[in-house]
Structure 1
């Protein structure tokens, strides 16, 4: 083989290897949602670790082990256990022992077997209202499975541990709240499987109908006659929607009489990074048809991902624009977009304009 032919073959092999890596390995997850009732592992561990400073310091030992393996980002992005190439697939697509992470390498700590995961107490055969966080709204179906009797929480979940058929399917359920907030969710009523007692996992699969993106979640439960109480999160009581006490920064409107205002708040912060949310409100008397928010990042800071909006940067200057679904804001209404970043959040001054 000639020297030039060898070089060409090597280049082709390198190209195909890179292409396969792009196709087969899931990329960074974008924020979307997870089960809230009964709470998923990532959701309840995030709730368990919330501190008054906005940092996440898990108290629960299973949550602590998960963060030690997967890093703090797995909790700050508790709503991102997904596969962009999932297409609703489960067994045969995701390996045994990786069901709780959905085969997503950023969440392998949540596959660890433990009897210490936070649990929701339920009554077998009763009807409950399931709640699923929709940080970003997408149409689709929800499939709910449950583990077989005799499942052992001290071993990693396999597909053979789950009943072969879902005990409930929700077809494009109703939703409430504004995407990009913790209280925005899909909800539906369903009857829990009968004949169950003790520790189990309710396994949820959210299959989008507008793309192949699929979300996976393990919710640890105890069928003991409970009505939704949660234990193992540093406190005992009804399963609440989490709240963070941010410090909003009011900002001026942009454009004379536009009615567009933008308010910034730091939702979470950690060593070397942060999560923020911006509320865009219409204080005018007519609907906004599109909006643009601008601000300047602090020195050394950058945006890593954004949801419910699009953005461009020029140096430290950020320009964020509406997504298609939240383009129009009625008078006295608002929408939100969120983002994560490297560096520090700060308290930037924002301007908001509308065409």
Structure 2
């Protein structure tokens, strides 16, 4: 009986690790935590938000979206520019740091201001470490801007999205 209990407990304990390791499993999650993205501000309770405050790493949607919520209706409040988001002061370039709670092979990371792509960093089809930082030249933009950061994962049709409010200059 004792051996059965140990075997059952071991399989329960190993199940999450096995699920994360399976190829093609949607286990990748990540967001920009510095400067604080909108979902990071929600998680820190800087701005009052709904369920995203519990799972800032979960703003996932089909590749090609250009919205803060990645087309995910559950997180629509991330698109609300009047919500009181705090803007981080940055210069003509800024370093954006991604935090990954589950890592996935990466095609690339893209950064947009409005419809203009200001950054593209290759992921080399590799699994990233737990945190990744990119120094992005923000071009000729100045004043308050919203940067859309996109993590395009390599082996599904999905990407992860984060908007970061910045004050350039």
Give TM-score, length-normalised by structure 1.
0.37
Structure with greater helix share of residues: 2
Question: CA shift at 1:30, angstroms?
Answer: 6.1
Highest CA radius of gyration, 1 or 2? 1
Q: 2:131 aligns with which of 177, 180, 185?
A: 185
Kept after mapping to 1: 8 A contact 2:65/2:71? no
Question: 1:45 and 1:118, CA in 2 relative to 1: closer, same or farther beyond 3 A?
Answer: farther
Find runs of 4+ consecutive structure 1 residues off by over 3 angstroms: 173-176
Cα deviation code 1:290-314 (max 9, x no counterpart): xxxxxxxxxxxxxxxxxxxxxxxxx
1:36 to 23, 27, 33: 33
Say which SS state the counterpart of residue 41 (structure 2) adopts: helix
Instruction: Decide whether the 8 Å contact of 1:38 with 1:131 is kept in 2.
Output: yes
Matches within 5 A, 1:115-264: 116-124=84-92, 126=93, 128-140=94-106, 141-147=108-114, 162-163=115-116, 166-172=117-123, 175-176=128-129, 184-190=130-136, 192-224=137-169
- Structure 2: 5+ residue runs without aligned partners? 1-25
User: Which whole-Å deviations, capped at 9, do the CAs of 1:309-355 have from their partners, x for residues lacking one?
Assistant: xxxxxxxxxxxxxxxxxxxxxxxxxxxxxxxxxxxxxxxxxxxxxxx
Normalising by structure 2, report the TM-score: 0.73
Alignment map for 1:1-355 (pairs within 5 Å): 32-47=29-44, 49=45, 60=46, 63-64=47-48, 67=49, 71=50, 73-83=51-61, 86=62, 88-90=63-65, 99-114=67-82, 116-124=84-92, 126=93, 128-140=94-106, 141-147=108-114, 162-163=115-116, 166-172=117-123, 175-176=128-129, 184-190=130-136, 192-224=137-169
Distance 1:42 1:31, change over 3 A: farther
Give 1:198 deviation, angstroms: 1.1
Aligned length: 141
- Give the superposition deviation at 1:196: 1.9
Contact 2:99–2:131 at 8 Å: present in 1 too?
yes
| Greater relative contact order, per chain length (Cα 8 Å cut-off, separation 6+) | 2
Q: Map Cα deviations across residues 167-224 of structure 1 (whole Å, 9 max, x no partner).
A: 1111117844xxxxxxx3122333x223222110111111111111211111111013
User: What 5-or-longer segments of structure 1 have no aligned partner?
Assistant: 1-28, 50-59, 92-98, 148-161, 177-183, 225-355
Q: CA RMSD in A?
A: 2.2
